[in-house]
Amino acid sequence: MIKRSIIALITSAAFVSTAFAGTLVINFDDPNPAPKAGFEAAVAAFEAANPDINVTVNINDREAHKTAIRNFLSANAPDITSWYPGNRMGPFVDAGQFEDISDLWASDENLSSNFEAIKPTMTRDGKQWGVPYTYYQWGVYYRADVYADNGLTEPATWDELLANCDTLKANGITPFTIGTKYLWTAAGVFDYLNLRTNGYDVHNALTAGEIKYTDDRIKATFANWETMLERCSFIDNHATMSWQEAIPPFASGDAAMYVMGNFAVAAFKDAGLTDDQIGYFPFPEITPGMPRAEEAPADAFFIPSGAKNKEDARKFLSFIARPEIQAAWNKTIGQLPPNSKSAINTDDKFIVEGFATVSTAAGLAQFYDRDAPAEMAKGGMEGFQEFMIKPERLEDILKRLDKIQDRVYK
Amino acid sequence: MADNFDTRSNRSWYSRNRQKIAPWIFLAPALIFFTVYVVAPIFQSLWISLYEWNGISEAKWVGLDNYVELFDDRRFYISLENNIIWLVLYMLAVPAGLFVALFLNQTIMGMRFYKSLFFFPFVISQVVVGLIFSWFYNPSFGAVGIIWEYFGAVPPSILGDERFVTYGIIFAGLWPQVAYCMILYLTGLNNVSQDQVEAGRLDGAKGWKMLRYVVLPQLWPATFLAIIVTVIGALRSFDMIAIMTQGGPYGTSNVLSYFMYETALSEYGFRMGYGSAIAVMLFVIMLFFISYFLWVMYKDEKGER
């Protein structure tokens, strides 16, 4: 008797989980408090607007998600998963594991008109594959109080930046902090130097493998970097530090500037700094008159081709493209909404400045390790780190990068 | 009578061959798991190393291309060189373990406590050892920084300098490894025959001579084991590198096992074919040592030594 009722229970449970067509499974990649709250609020709003759809959410740690996605896309695909645009979505698009949603981009009122700036990074082979829900600016974060104490102002040009560095060094302050143990922070500096020296098109051509690293234009970028290493020193021992471990010198005022993404502001505040002590300026102009491009990596949602409920998945993607949803979500996580009609949080000065910076940019780069294929990115970033420690090896490093490039893009 | 005869001739094949089958039944679980989880993956790696495969797309047959690329890859030679440095320096754990064991092999009050202190690093996780040493080496707040600054010197960035980084990690790795060898020797010392030591003493042997000609030969099994675990430990040094440097700065502290992981399974990797080629090279190196050890053990058992 008991046995029978247990069997009945199990079968009914199995029945329940498959019975309703309106079950939507979403895999999300950030369990930190703010991103989780933002995501869950959006899901709750979606459920309220679509009472017949029952959403199941799986939240995984970001690093775990990066590994797990390779299994769950083929073995047990959810209806929606978070992932990253640019070259990061490349392997899955090429393997046919993401659903082509160009039709949604063409028909949806928001996607068709308010996402022009970010559309290229969601595009591969002329089709769109995902919907971005957030992005954030990069730039130079600096200690406003340290700047004021030394009589400095935000630099708009390369020469002004170098002059500021001279003053800071003369007063015993290291101009820049950085932690390159995990390599990508060095790529942020390279991206900006290259974007400012050669512009967006040359930078894109480099990460697309169309220009060699030994090209004179790229060498000019490294020459500027060498100047920066000499006159604007970075803190010592950066190769042993993560980006978080590089914050204490910044918080103590021993270092004045940090080339970083906006997510670092929360960490600065955790280290004891207040809004008034932190300032932001876009990376200064190097080549006069060069149109200003910015780093602005986006996060997005994709529909796996193995999804069971693609119809409701499209509904969800269309829903999160709405301006009011993107506004609320990004207010919670302190980032920028990709929908250009969406309101930004005007109480956050970094968001206001960041929005002014990226919305007027001539082009948006996704970051070196998303714009370049993974293997090139790894080799390139190791080269950048080596260059920062041993600038005299430049020739050798660039030749090595050319060799990797020859193989990766063949 | 007839009944009896009948049962005997009807005895099943199993009962007739019970003696021969029983060992295989007992061995079966181990054999099955060993085949599925050890032998099969070895051949699978060999097979995958002939393909270009990112783990999700179609695998593409490239023949020996991965090996051709590997032998032209600077990172491979850096890793190989570091592996050799690891092998050589890690061997210090054997004499160091012997020294500590001899030192601890006396009957003093509280000796068990001291022994457990020396054994402690082997008990804690390698990850923890790695973390402790990266703090220890930190030039700004670590012990190294404080000591150097006390003498008015500029502290070296051990984990950030390509010249020191591998030695720094090996030194950290030696800490638990010495403890391991020490334990092997302590148990070995328990079995040293007191008669022979007495006899040696009567013949006037003491100090170094006693150790070299009387004690050490009896410790041969412990020494052999210590060498095996140290060689294997050096070749699969992975956790320390993953925790302390991730192969950095710019790949100079890489070893084959971490290089393989980085190529095949890390964020910027997923070149399964190339990673498998590295795994095969590592396997060949290990095979060389393992065959030697097996050969020595075989000779030992035949009593030819």
Domain ranges of chain B: 74-302
Rounded mean pLDDT, A374-399:
94
Q: Do B134 and A240 touch (CB under 8 A)?
A: yes
Please give, rounded to a whole number of angstroms, the shortest distance from the CA of A378 to a CA of chain B: 6
Q: Do A239 and B246 touch (CB under 8 A)?
A: no
pLDDT at position B304 over 70: no
Q: Give the dihedral of Cα atoms B32, B38, B42, B43; nearest 10 deg.
A: 0
Identify which of A63, A95, A240 has the shortest CB distance to residue B160. A240
Rounded mean pLDDT, A383-392:
95
Q: Do B56 and A374 touch (CB under 8 A)?
A: no
DSSP H or E stretch at residue B95: helix B93-104
Which of B268, B270, B271, B274 to mutate to test binding with chain A, by most A CBs within 10 Å of its CB?
B268
What angle, rounded to 10 degrees, do the helices at B111-123 and B93-104 form?
160
Rounded mean pLDDT, A221-245:
93
Residue with the bigger pLDDT between A187 and A12: it is: A187
Tell me if domain A2-135+299-365 and domain A138-295+373-408 are identical in fold.
yes
Average pLDDT of the residues of chain A:
90
**pLDDT over 70 percentage in chain A:** 95
- Report the top-level CATH class of B74-302: mainly alpha
From chain A, the residues in CB contact with B271 under 8 A are 375
From chain A, the residues in CB contact with B56 under 8 A are 70, 73-74, 91-92, 95, 97
**pLDDT over 90 percentage in chain A:** 74
Please state which of the ranges A185-199, B11-25, B36-50 shows the lowest mean pLDDT.
Answer: B11-25
The pLDDT score that the predictor gives to residue B195 is: 87
pLDDT at position A209 over 80: yes
Q: Which CATH superfamily is domain A2-135+299-365 in?
A: Periplasmic binding protein-like II (3.40.190.10)
Rounded mean pLDDT, A12-33:
70
Residue B16, classified by CB atoms within 10 Å of its CB into exposed (0-12), middle (13-18) or buried (19+), is: exposed
Reported as a pLDDT band with limits 50, 70 and 90, residue B7 is low
DSSP H or E stretch at residue A328: helix A323-333
The identity of residue A136, as a single letter, is Y
The pLDDT score that the predictor gives to residue A197 is: 96
The pLDDT score that the predictor gives to residue A350 is: 93
Q: Which of A109, A167, A188 is nearest to A385 (CA)?
A: A188
Q: Could you state, in order of their start, the residue ranges of all structural domains in chain A? A: 2-135+299-365, 138-295+373-408
Q: Tokens in use for B253?
A: 């502290």
CA distances from A126 to A90, A120, A305, B57 (A): 13, 9, 18, 20
CA distances from A320 to A192, A332, B172 (A): 31, 14, 50
Identify which of A73, A375, A389 has the shortest CB distance to residue B268. A375
Q: Which residues, including other chains, have CB under 8 Å from residue A340's CB and lie 6 or more apart?
A: A114, A115, A116, A117, A359
Please give, rounded to a whole number of angstroms, the shortest distance from the CA of A116 to a CA of chain B: 29
pLDDT at position A91 over 80: yes
From chain A, the residues in CB contact with B270 under 8 A are 70, 91, 374
The pLDDT score that the predictor gives to residue B267 is: 80
Rounded mean pLDDT, A177-205:
94
The pLDDT score that the predictor gives to residue A21 is: 56
Tens-place pLDDT, residues A259-270: 999 989 989 999
How does DSSP classify residue B56? S
Give me the phi and psi of A352, to 5 degrees please: -60, -50
pLDDT at position A14 over 50: no
Helices (H) and strands (E) in chain A, counts: 18, 13
Query: How many other CB atoms sit within 10 Å of the CB of residue B254?
Result: 25
CA distances from A341 to A115, B32, B87 (A): 9, 62, 62
pLDDT at position A343 over 60: yes
Q: Do A182 and B74 touch (CB under 8 A)?
A: no
> Can you name the CATH fold of A138-295+373-408?
D-Maltodextrin-Binding Protein; domain 2 (3.40.190)
Q: Which of A217, A218, A112, A228 is nearest to A165 (CA)?
A: A228
Tens-place pLDDT, residues A34-68: 899 999 999 999 999 999 999 999 999 888 898 88
Q: Give the dihedral of Cα atoms A111, A112, A116, A122; nearest 10 deg.
A: 60
Please state which of the ranges A292-296, B88-92, B142-146 shows the lowest mean pLDDT.
Answer: B142-146
Most confident stretch, A97-106, A355-364, B264-273: A97-106
Q: Please state, in angstroms and rounded to a whole number, the distance separating the CA atoms of residues A89 and B224.
A: 51
Q: Which residues, including other chains, have CB under 8 Å from residue B91's CB and lie 6 or more apart?
A: B227, B230, B234
The identity of residue B66, as a single letter, is N
Position of tokens 């003493």? B201
Instruction: Specify whether the backbone of A287 is left (phi greater than 0), alpha (psi in -120 to 50) or beta.
Output: beta
The pLDDT score that the predictor gives to residue B10 is: 65
State the distance between the two ends of chain A, measured CA to CA, in whole angstroms.
Answer: 67
Q: Do B250 and A383 touch (CB under 8 A)?
A: yes
Reported as a pLDDT band with limits 50, 70 and 90, residue A16 is very low
CB A387 within 8 A of CB A397: yes
The pLDDT score that the predictor gives to residue A162 is: 96
Q: Please state, in angstroms and rounded to a whole number, the distance separating the CA atoms of residues A241 and B138.
A: 9
Rounded mean pLDDT, A65-77:
89
Tens-place pLDDT, residues A270-327: 999 999 999 999 999 999 999 999 999 999 999 999 999 999 999 999 999 999 999 9
pLDDT at position B305 over 70: no
Rounded mean pLDDT, A370-380:
90
- The gap from C-alpha A249 to its chain's centroid, in whole angstroms, comes to 24
Cis before B249? omega within 30: yes
Reported as a pLDDT band with limits 50, 70 and 90, residue B1 is very low
The pLDDT score that the predictor gives to residue B291 is: 92
Average pLDDT of the residues of chain B:
89
Query: Which residues of A make CB contacts under 8 Å with B?
Result: 63, 66-67, 70, 73-74, 91-92, 94-95, 97, 180-183, 236-240, 369, 374-375, 377-378, 382-383, 385-386, 389, 400, 407
Reported as a pLDDT band with limits 50, 70 and 90, residue B66 is very high
The pLDDT score that the predictor gives to residue B56 is: 81
Q: Please state, in angstroms and rounded to a whole number, the distance separating the CA atoms of residues A357 and B259.
A: 40
Please give, rounded to a whole number of angstroms, the shortest distance from the CA of A375 to a CA of chain B: 6
CB pairs under 8 A between A and B: 73
B157 close to A (CB below 8 A): yes
